[in-house]
Structure 1
């Protein structure tokens, strides 16, 4: 065997091993969700359930509870509005920073970069005080503005790079044809920066969908909670954790994430490769 084929074989083995390691938690989650709760505590434990043990009772229980359907809807609403609002605000901000020169431009961008390195958990106390003043405690509307504020710095930073790579000659041609700044923004910058916007939108959706500490702090009503809080409610319930329900709800929570990633995959790949080749 030649050295080249040997090196390729080693690479394939490492990639397959890495794939197995990455997929094992997800496979275990799906297999556990198909087991009856009593089978989870058997000894010795089994990774996969027997064919006769496979059941959908955990999914039937989750889908039969109105509060979980409501929690699912809350997460969809919060995540979708976070993505839409952050895309609008960060795109406009990135366009202004990339295309216009004004006093304090570098200072503003530096401040945006600075906010990216501040851990979100350190801001919970002042955020809570602000939420109290805004009277958004125990309301899903108290989540959206804070989520948007969290993701705007990173989104602006990323989209700014895409806008800067758009030739300014396109802007000038639009101005010569009588187009306004808004025409340039919506008809030139937004379409050409779409891969970057889609890439950060996936990140923003995941941030809002999976966020736990802030939602657990401001939401007390079970019907107003998001999915991560609903999942945590099973831990310690009835003196033990109902892992079948936990993993069934976790599997269902992956569906919107997969849908968003699949629908934006083309733009996501373009966003990752943009700038790697100079035309």
Structure 2
């Protein structure tokens, strides 16, 4: 009787876990499906009653995508986002990996305070710093300039990147460092030929988050950039809201779908490092 009761309770637990998992998948997937289905509808079909989640075969059209791809400013905005995001990823990877190497491998006065301060900055929301950041951007003459976004994005992602990469560096055996020193190599040799290659999964995993942060950031870019030719994709998407006295949701969702392609490409190319990098970085440090 007890075995039957245990088997029955396990089945109910499995059913409950499956239901919770299905609900979680629906919450994540359905908005994406709705966005794609709306992008494939004519603009007028969005306001029909009763509303339909999926368009009919006769309604499916690529007109929204043709309109977006035919806009010259889309190519410009896409290029701006790509430049900002790629530069942010490369710059943050270089700075964070070097900083993580120094904190993990060397003992110096203030080391614990420095790392604690880095962790502390992770809990400060970026939007709360817009006013002082804007004053700094004015003094640096970075307002309404594309390169004015990059240093601030790098500063935002360095604390998290350093925290994650430090854990990965600490998992690298110190004996490899000592062997390099014995062979006549210096600190830069250890960093370039030992730490960076073996920390590549950790760097790749945080680079996904850094790319996503720079690619989809809106408040700071909208504050600093005023020129249409220098705007990034999130600002371009917001530009369709309220145009012609109403929002053309077909164009909005078509542009949103196109903006997801680079994110998916980056994630798919780095996914083999993703789980390994997160696991190793969260255990150490």
Q: TM-score range by the shorter chain?
A: over 0.9
Q: Which runs of 5+ in 2 are unaligned?
A: none
One of 106, 115, 118 as aligned partner of 2:112? 106
How far apart, in 2, do the equivalents of 1:272 and 1:139 lie? 34
One of 246, 260, 273 as aligned partner of 2:279? 273
One of 141, 147, 155 as aligned partner of 2:153? 147
Q: 15-24 or 177-186, which moves further after superposition?
A: 15-24
How far apart, in 2, do the equivalents of 1:276 and 1:69 lie? 38
State the SS of the aligned residue for 2:90: helix
What do you get for the CA RMSD once the two structures are aligned? 1.6
Per-residue CA deviation, residues 174-207 of structure 1 (Å, 9 max, x unaligned), is: 1111111111101111111111111110110011
Match of 2:126 in 1: 120
Per-residue CA deviation, residues 143-173 of structure 1 (Å, 9 max, x unaligned), is: 0010001111111111111111211111001
Give the aligned length.
Answer: 278
Match of 2:243 in 1: 237
- Tell me if 1:21 matches 2:27: yes
Q: CA deviation at 1:14?
A: 2.9
TM-score by length of 1: 0.95
- Tell me if 1:82 matches 2:88: yes
Match of 1:164 in 2: 170
| TM superposition outliers: structure 1 runs of 4+ over 4 Å | 275-278
How far apart, in 2, do the equivalents of 1:95 and 1:234 lie? 45
TM-score by length of 2: 0.94
For 1:206-245, list aligned pairs within 5 A. 206-245=212-251
How far apart, in 1, do the equivalents of 2:45 and 2:147 lie? 40
How far apart, in 2, do the equivalents of 1:234 and 1:167 lie? 53
Per-residue CA deviation, residues 99-142 of structure 1 (Å, 9 max, x unaligned), is: 11111111211221121121211211111111111111111100
How far apart, in 2, do the equivalents of 1:108 and 1:256 lie? 35
Q: CA deviation at 1:5?
A: 4.3
Shift in alpha-carbon separation, 1:110–1:245, aligned structure 2, 3 A: same
Q: CA deviation at 1:228?
A: 0.4
Q: CA deviation at 1:13?
A: 3.4
How far apart, in 2, do the equivalents of 1:273 and 1:36 lie? 45
One of 46, 50, 67 as aligned partner of 1:61? 67
One of 252, 272, 277 as aligned partner of 2:258? 252
